[in-house]
Amino acid sequence: MNRLASSVAIFVGMLVPMAASAQVGIRNSDHDLSASSGADIKNANDNQICIYCHTPHKAQSTQLLWNHSQTAVAVWSWGNDLDGNALTNTTAGTLLPTIVRSNSKRCLGCHDGSVAIGDVSNAGDGQKGIIAGLENLPNLTDATGKLIDASKIIGGGGNMGGNHPISIPYAGQTGYNNADSKAVADDAIGNYFKPTNAGCTSATGWCTTAPASDGRNGAAINLIPNAPGGATNFGIECTSCHEPHNRFGFDKFARVDNTVSSGLCRSCHNK
Ligand code: HEC
Ligand code: HEC
Ligand code: HEC
Ligand code: HEC
Mean pLDDT of the chain: 93
Nearest CA to ligand 4 atom 32: 154
Confidence of residue 146 (pLDDT cuts 50, 70, 90): very high
The pLDDT, as a whole number, for residue 12 is: 43
- Residue 55: C-alpha distances to residues 48, 50, 107, 127, 154 (Å): 11, 7, 16, 11, 25
Which mutation among 64, 152, 202, 240 tests ligand 3's pocket best, with the greatest number of atoms within 8 A of CB? 152
Nearest CA to ligand 3 atom 40: 107
Confirm if 35 and 48 have CB atoms less than 8 A apart.
Answer: no
- As a whole number, mean pLDDT of residues 9-35 equals 70
Centroid of ligand 2 to alpha carbon of 64 (angstroms): 26
**Cα distance between residue 54 and residue 56, in whole Å:** 7
Nearest CA to ligand 2 atom 11: 170
pLDDT digits 0-9 by tens, 52-88: 999 999 999 999 999 999 999 999 999 999 999 999 9
Q: Is the Cα torsion angle 79, 83, 84, 88 positive or negative in sign?
A: negative
Contacts within 8 Å (CB) and 24+ apart, 140-147: 140/40, 140/41, 141/41, 141/117, 144/116, 145/116, 145/117, 145/118, 145/119, 146/113, 146/114, 146/115, 146/116, 146/117, 147/41, 147/110, 147/111, 147/113, 147/117
pLDDT digits 0-9 by tens, 221-242: 999 999 999 999 999 999 999 9
Confidence of residue 2 (pLDDT cuts 50, 70, 90): very low
Confidence of residue 16 (pLDDT cuts 50, 70, 90): very low
The pLDDT, as a whole number, for residue 7 is: 46
